[in-house]
Chain A
Amino acid sequence: GENVEQHPSTLSVQEGDSAVIKCTYSDSASNYFPWYKQELGKRPQLIIDIRSNVGEKKDQRIAVTLNKTAKHFSLHITETQPEDSAVYFCAATMNRDDKIIFGKGTRLHILP
């Protein structure tokens, strides 16, 4: 069926270190892969996205890589800071970009 798997569910990293979150998707026709950040008690907000014709995209300390052959994509956060502590969701479009399905989320803790 249509699904997006996300790992790990919880991640703790030392401040200043890098964090990596990985996702796999089921629909080989998926074309759009966004990442959302949700701080405690707030709504999800887009932090970066990538389309299927691009293998990697970077925006300051965050980057996303996409491997269409393997149907997986990853979020990389470098030089982590306390404000990076949040829940991160990956997502992928399904059914020829008709709708979007989210992973179950990763709770990222930045340790002082």
Chain B
Amino acid sequence: IAGITQAPTSQILAAGRRMTLRCTQDMRHNAMYWYRQDLGLGLRLIHYSNTAGTTGKGEVPDGYSVSRANTDDFPLTLASAVPSQTSVYFCASSDGLPAEQFFGPGTRLTVL
């Protein structure tokens, strides 16, 4: 692994299903973030974690949960997916704040 990775690359999901998007970084960054990107709405922060064991709510946290059991991994879970959660999801990490954020390649999620 080099940098920050996300899985899956894309997913089509039926409404009501549970889904976990995975994010892993090998840069030993303390801080990690989840954003969703929708046309015309930019990058909206869902949840973030400034260090392992802590998480915080961003601009649009409803319907999503996160955990940060260790430094490297920051999974995002949709407990019961809805069509409005159709989006491109980006994970990012940084060596604390304020500092450059490094983004993963993104996950394109479609909820039908």
Contacts and interface: CB of A to CB of B under 8 A. Distances in A.
Contact of B42 (A32, A51, A93, A105): A105
Interface residues of A, number: 24
A102 B100 contact: no
Contacts, number: 58
Contact of B103 (A6, A44, A98, A100): A44
A24 to B, nearest CB: 14
B97 A100 contact: yes
A45 interface: yes
Given A31-B98, A34-B100, A100-B33, A43 B106 contact: yes
B101 A46 contact: yes
Contacts of A34: 98, 100-101
Q: Is the contact region of chain A dominated by helix, strand, or loop, or is it mixed? A: strand
A17 interface: no
Contact of A46 (B42, B50, B58, B100): B100
Contacts of B35: 102
A9 B44 contact: no
Interface string B40-52: 1111110010100
A98 B97 contact: yes
B59 interface: yes
A49 B100 contact: yes
A101 interface: yes
Given A89-B43, A99-B48, A99-B58, A51 B103 contact: no
Contact of B41 (A2, A31, A45, A104): A104
A97 interface: yes
Given A43-B103, A43-B104, A44-B103, A102 B45 contact: yes
Interface of A: 2, 6, 9, 31-32, 34, 36, 43-46, 49, 51, 89, 93, 97-105
Given A99-B45, A102-B43, A102-B44, 7 more contacts: A32-B97, A89-B42, A99-B56, A99-B58, A100-B98, A101-B45, A105-B42
